[in-house]
Amino acid sequence: MRASLLVMLLTLLYGCGERIERVSGPTMGSTYTIQYVPAAQTPDSQRVKTEVETILGALDQQFSNWRGDSVVSRFNDLPAGACQALPDDMRRLVAYGESLSRESGGAFDLTVLPLMNLWGFGPKSRGEHSPDAGELEREEARVGHQHLRLDGEKLCKDVAVQLDFDSIVAGYAVDQVSDRLSALGVQAYLVEITGELKAVGHKPDGSPWRIALEVPSGGSEQQVERAVALDGYGVSTSGDYRNYFEEGGQRYSHTFDPRVGRPVKHALAAVTVVDPSALHADGLSTLLMVLGPEEGYAFAERHDIAAFFIMRQGQSFVTRATPRFESLFPGQGKTKQ
C-alpha cells in the first residue's frame, strides 16, 4: 500500500433516485476504485472495468519494481554505459521527472531506488536499518538524473542507475483512466488509484465530489482537517507517518532527500497538492514533502501551486495553505469528525 495514502473519500453512492456505478480491484500493490454516473451513451460497468484494468495492467508491466519482467526492472538490471529502448509512457515520465529534479535542485529524483533499498524501503532491501557511511557513499554515487540521457527512443545511463516511478506513476495512471472514461462518454466520475484522485462533473443529485484531508493520527480513528469539493482536478497527498522505522531512538521516514541520501528530518507531516493534472499533483506532493515546511511552502508559492501543508507542532499539528489553494477552495474551512 502506498504510504502516502492520506486522503479519505467522502462520497454518497445515491442521490435523487439515480445511481452511481462503482468498479474496483487490486493494482500496483494497492487498489483502485472508479465511481461514475452512468448515462445512456456510457458502456456497462463490466466494459468500464475491462478498459480501466487494461490501462493499469499495461502500466504495471512497464513501471513495477516488484516484478522482474517489467520494463523498468530490465533497465535497472543493466550495467553502467548501457541503453534500452523505452515505451512512450516511460520516456514521458522520465522527462517529467528530470524537469522536477531540475526545478527543485535535486530534491525530486527518480533514481533514488538504491537508497530506498539500502535503508530498507525498496523491493530489494535487506531489512530496515540505518546504513554506515561507506554504504551510503557507495549508493549515493548511483543516484542523480545527471547520470541519465535520453537518446531518441532509448534511455542511457553512465553509472548503474536504478529508476523508481512510484512518486508519479499512480498520478499518471489516474490521468490515463480519466481520459479513457471521457472517451467512453462518461461525464461525471471520481477516479482513485492507490490514493491518487481525480474528480470530474457532479453526482446525480447535483452535489460535487468531495474529499477530506486527513490529519495524521496514531489511533484507528480518522481525523478530518479540511474537506474540499472537486471538479476537473487531481489530488495527491504525501506524508511521512505511515511507512517508517525507529532505530536508536531516531525515526526514519520512507521519504528521501536525494540531495543528502537520507530520509527527511523536518516537521512536515503531510502535504496535499491539487492540480488539473493528477500526474503533476503526484510529483509535486512528493517534491514538497522532501523540501519541507519552509522551503516547500516557498517553492509552492513561487510556482503558484495549490498546496495544503500539515506540520507537527509538539504533540499536535498546525496547517498552512498556499494562496492558490485558498483561491480554489474559498470558505471551505476545517471539518471536524
- What cell does 324 get? 492558490
127 in a domain, yes or no? Answer: yes
pLDDT by position in tens, the chain (length 337)? 343 333 444 433 333 336 899 999 999 989 999 999 998 889 999 999 999 999 999 999 999 998 999 999 999 999 999 999 999 999 999 999 999 999 999 999 999 998 888 877 767 666 656 777 888 888 889 999 999 999 999 999 999 999 999 999 999 999 999 999 999 999 999 999 999 999 999 999 999 999 988 776 655 455 667 889 999 999 999 987 555 444 445 555 668 888 887 788 888 989 999 999 999 999 999 999 999 999 999 999 999 999 999 998 888 889 999 999 999 998 654 433 3
Q: Is residue 281 part of a domain?
A: no
CATH number for 76: 1.10.3980.10
Contact criterion met (CB below 8 Å) for 213 and 227: yes
Q: How many domains does the chain have?
A: 1
Dist. CA 228–CA 328, nearest whole Å:
9
Q: What is the DSSP letter of 282?
A: H
Q: Is residue 74 part of a domain?
A: yes
* CA-wise closest residue to 7 among 195, 159, 154: 195
pLDDT, residue 184, reads 96
Is 266 a member of any domain?
no
- Specify whether the CB–CB gap between 260 and 222 falls below 8 A: no
Q: CA Rg, the chain, in Å? A: 20
- Please give the pLDDT value at position 16: 38
**DSSP-derived 3-state class of residue 31:** strand
Residue whose C-alpha cell is 531518441: 152
Domain annotation covers residue 135 = yes
In terms of residue numbers, what domain contains 139?
A: 67-157
Q: Domain for residue 139, yes or no?
A: yes
DSSP 143: -
Q: Are 101 and 93 in contact (CB under 8 A)?
A: no
pTM greater than the 0.85 cutoff: yes
In a domain, 76, yes or no: yes
- Rounded to whole angstroms, how far apart are CA atoms 70 and 318? 41
* 114, part of any domain: yes
